[in-house]
Structures are given as structure tokens and as C-alpha cells.
Structure 1
Amino acid sequence: MRRKVANVANSRQKSLIYTCALIGLTVYGVPKLPKLAHGMAGTFTVVWLLFVALCVGANLYFLFGADKERKRLLEQQEVEVKSQGLRPEVRRLRG
């Protein structure tokens, strides 16, 4: 099954802006977070930091174009699957 990949205009610019905004939010918010300790306050701090790390990681993933590489690999797989239906001598000629 082929995954649908939309071509979003300015996706790298958006990803860069979102990453910068998240870093700014982190720089502003970390000093205001409660100290790491057992209890609700420490749990909130850990969850907040993990969420920020997840968001920054996702934006960096798209910023560096990893999704484009995945799209290329999926298209290559699709071509290979279609070529398996060809005669053996045609498959040998294609490599």
C-alpha cells in the first residue's frame, strides 16, 4: 500500500520557523519550570521537556528532507514491484 505524501509549499521554511519558535519557547520556559522532584511538579517538567524534544525532532526531520528520501524509496519499491510482472529477459535488461 502506497503512503500518500502531499507536496506542501514552503515546508522547509515553515519547519525552520517552527523549530526556531520552539527553541525560543524552550529558552523562555525552562527557567520557569518546577524543579525535578518526585510528585506532580517533577512529572510535569519531564513531560513538558519530552514534548518539546519530540516537536523539535519532528521539525528537524522535515527540515532536513528525510520525508523526501522516504518518498523516493517508496516510489523505487513500486517500480520494482511492477517490474516483477515482466518477462525474465526484460527484467535482466533493466538490471
Structure 2
Amino acid sequence: VEEMRQSARIVEQCFRDMPEGEVMSKRLPKIFKPPVGEAYSRTESPRGELSFFMVSDGTPNPVRVHVRAPSFVHLSILPELLKGVKVADVIAILGSLDTVLGEVDR
């Protein structure tokens, strides 16, 4: 309960110290046109590193987009993990990886 009180005090402090004026200085365009080039970004997700790679030619539609999902990476070790195990153990081993099948559907 004390952590909740402390969190509430932090939020109140943020509101108190927030400068006056508009929250966003201008409206963002409805169509986003990224500059020509490549971009790579990664972030930590609950199951591991999630990364995005995008190639743009300056139009609203990207030339290439690649998502590297953590579950897809985790499954790459599966052949090594399954060496010499019984078929009955495969489900338990697969479950221990905590994969999200939607991430590995290519």
C-alpha cells in the first residue's frame, strides 16, 4: 500500500512540475512519410528482445519491414534441445520455451 501512495506522490509531483502550454505543439500528419533510408530499432519485451527493421523510399508505404520476434528466436534452439529426448518429452520442452505461436507464424 505504501508503494501505491509513493506512486501517487510521484504522479502529483509530475503534474505540479509540468510546464504550462499545449501538450503537443503541432498536429501530426495523418499520413506518415519517413525519410529515405533504413531504420533499426529494438526494445525489451516480456519474452525477450523485439526488433524492427524498415527500409523506406520516402513514400508512406515501406519498401521492406522485418520483425524479429523473441519467440521465433527461441525456437531456433529447438533442434539442439530435442536431441536424444523421447517424443513424450517434446511438448514439455516446447512449453518451457514459453513461445507465442502468433509470433512464429511466417
Shorter-normalised TM range? under 0.3
TM-score by length of 2: 0.24
Q: Which has the higher strand share?
A: 2
Q: Which has the higher helix share?
A: 1
TM-score by length of 1: 0.26
